[in-house]
Structure 1
């Protein structure tokens, strides 16, 4: 049986109380503001108010592990102890930002902690940790299958004391947000290198750099995810100083692998939260609505759906916790088998859970009156984000075959 630390248990209580007092009561106000905002990508005053409250309550930067605790004002939390906190935040999809624990910033902050120079950390990491700015991670491209990261074509060429970037990116989360001030951009700096994994580099491109154009916002199932958003970008002779490179030329693929492992599990944690909330709403709905002379809860098919939902959430939660424990023990790289298993199983299972809960809500389940439609979109989106299911299944299958067949 798993056991969270005393600190994690205390934070779980604090976080649940904060959600009850400050977040759930403001869901409608948050949505109404976005519906009537002149600029959907501008900062939301309500969010800033909630951030101040969360930081004062010590519910800030909780994603940071003990190995990187020197960058924050607490001792850090293991992946295992952070998992239930991320699940609680995930119950309201926009709430992780309140606690400075939202994607893609958590992953980007870890990149700066692990791979940036002191100068880069002072300029970008410190304001990110303070919640003063936001960031984006630009890897996916529209013209190539970016599921194979070595396919990226954006050119990063050295000219004198500058890197010159040319190419396109899309589905770049956070790019539309007006507070996003820095883009971590992956491209090819050495396309002729014999090793496909040494051709890439990652460089830092500040917002407003000449030649960086936000072409358009993008949607997933009609959701624009404002005020964070996803965007298509064009880089037209974008020039940045040589010191804007991360870790060194040819190290881009290495950085990507180091960044995406924890991020994949964070998504799984949050998905369990929105699925759990959907199940609770479905149960309440099942006893409040009557069809054919009986409550929904009295119909066999509804009880079976509730049963499946409960079982799949429990399976997903246990798999994620086992993965987190393994990551804490041996690191993300050595736990890639369980990370891949979670990445390919949890989003699909939670998508199915949310789908059943939507069905129990009838037509209302498709609307913004409930959290499920947006949660379904998030679950489906996660099956592509940070690498599509098929790539992880292929890699995991290869690992398992080698493990048990020695081939």
Structure 2
């Protein structure tokens, strides 16, 4: 394996890193001040300001290709994108992950990233014009409605929300929750997964459909908290969909293709989370080391106590191992496709959140009372990252994938 970064990989990472240091980090107090002002669910002027700067510097839609539609002569339908490989994007996403809200500045935040990829890969020309174009321009936000409160959503075949054909329309009925991003007033679209054929095969009865959030019958019931954090102005919503009538043209790819779309969407999405998680872990380790080298206890600097030497050493080892595994998964995805990287994606999806949570917990311990307060980013970061042991499939499901691959080496036939 060649561990040396290419010129492009290094250049893109360094451009994102420089923008983060110059434009994003100095504005963190401004971000929190704007969230606290007025309605917590209003869009923030700061984000729009920084989006304009990132876009002007070509740091925009890093994971998406530039595209001018199916007709090269149609110059009114253009998308800006850098079309980075998964490996190239991994290095940039790690830098973005160091500040929780930074990804949106580059138009690279979930769930928009996954939804844009779905629309680009599976959407019709009309669907792209209506929804992909404004998403790639950063004018609207979107949500992905898959999880349901009344079933074990770790097994997506349990999904009970119905998407049933009625003439030239589909009728959608069901309850969804953990609809990340739906608190943002700019969130205009949801991609909804539901059952379109109650008698269909296990993996052929589900479909995905585009649901405008202002459609009749769509009700945002409440915003959910994560360990007490509401994550405004982004947030996570619970929805009721009651007899929502949509044009048949809103179906994605066709009936029964829901699992196919989900696999295409969730592979990159899972690894994007892991890339950003490594950035969070680096931030926590830095905060821990700065704290330990600036305080004394029991007659000597805290960092000279052996327990902290061990914790910091293990933190560095774990970060380096996870980064290499994440880059390997990204590289396999680039060279052989998402399906070939299934096991690598599962491994990093299990390991990265666990690694980061341990390091953040140690950093909280190093900060004492300050670590659990609002005076540091650590408590909020821990709460956010804890969700990644559930999001895009719980640890147990990914561990099952890894174990089955391993057992498969020894089972005949």
Shorter-normalised TM range: over 0.9
Distance 2:215 2:110 in 1: 23
For structure 1, which runs of at least 5 residues remain unmatched after alignment?
none
Structure 2 Cα separation of the partners of residues 131 and 84 of structure 1:
22
SS at match of 2:210: strand
Of 209, 213, 232, which aligns to 1:226? Answer: 232
- Looking at structure 2, the residues matched to 68 and 35 of structure 1 have their Cα atoms a distance apart, in angstroms, of 40
CA contact (8 A) 1:15 1:85 kept: yes
Question: What secondary structure is seen at the aligned counterpart in 1 of 2:83?
Answer: coil
1:236 aligned partner: 242
Are the equivalent residues in 2 in contact too, given 1:68–1:113 (CA < 8 A)? no
Q: 1:210 to 1:69 in 2, by over 3 A?
A: closer
1:162 aligned partner = 169
1:6-405 matched pairs, under 5 angstroms: 6-36=7-37, 38-64=38-64, 72-74=79-81, 76-193=83-200, 195-405=201-411
Q: Is the 8 A contact 2:180 2:237 kept in 1?
A: yes
Question: How big is each residue's C-alpha offset from its partner over 1:54-98, in whole Å with a ceiling of 9 and x where there is no partner?
Answer: 111111111226999997445511111111100000000110000
State the 1:349 CA deviation. 1.1
Query: Match for residue 74 of structure 2?
Result: none
Equivalent position of 2:75 in the other structure = none
User: Could you say what the CA RMSD is over the residues aligned between the two structures, in angstroms?
Assistant: 1.7
Distance in structure 1 (CA, Å) of the matches to 2:194 and 2:393: 17
Q: Could you give the per-residue CA deviations for residues 10-69 of structure 1, whole angstroms, max 9, x where no partner exists?
A: 122221121111111111111122123x22222100111010111111111112269999
CA distance in 2, matches of 1:241, 1:62: 32
Q: What is the TM-score when the length of structure 2 is the normalising length? A: 0.95
Displacement of 1:387 in angstroms is 0.5
- The number of equivalent residue pairs is 405
Moved more, 39-48 or 181-190: 39-48
Kept after mapping to 1: 8 A contact 2:322/2:351 = yes
Moved more, 63-72 or 244-253: 63-72
Q: Is the 8 A contact 1:69 1:75 kept in 2?
A: no
Query: Aligned equivalents of 2:220 and 2:90: distance in 1?
Result: 34
Is 2:62–2:82's contact at 8 Å kept on the other side of the alignment? Answer: no
Q: How far, CA to CA, are the matches of 2:343 and 2:68 in structure 1?
A: 24
Give the distance between the partners of 1:126 and 1:74, measured in 2 at CA.
12
How far residue 336 of structure 1 moved from its aligned partner, in angstroms, is 0.3
1:403 deviates by: 2.7
Distance 1:161 1:29, change over 3 A: same
Please tell me whether the aligned partners of residues 104 and 173 of structure 1 are also in contact (alpha carbons under 8 angstroms).
yes
- Find the counterpart in structure 1 of residue 73 from structure 2: none
1:214 & 1:190 partners in 2: Cα distance?
26
With normalisation by structure 1, the TM-score equals 0.96
**Greater Cα shift, 13-22 or 310-319:** 13-22
Closer/same/farther in 2, CA of residues 162 and 244 from structure 1, 3 Å limit: same
Segments ≥4 residues shifted beyond 4 Å:
65-72
Contact 1:4/1:81 (<8 A) preserved: no
Contact 2:60 2:80 in 1 (8 A): no
**Contact 1:68–1:76 (CA under 8 A) maintained in structure 2:** no
Higher helix share: 1
**SS at structure 2 position matched to 1:34:** helix
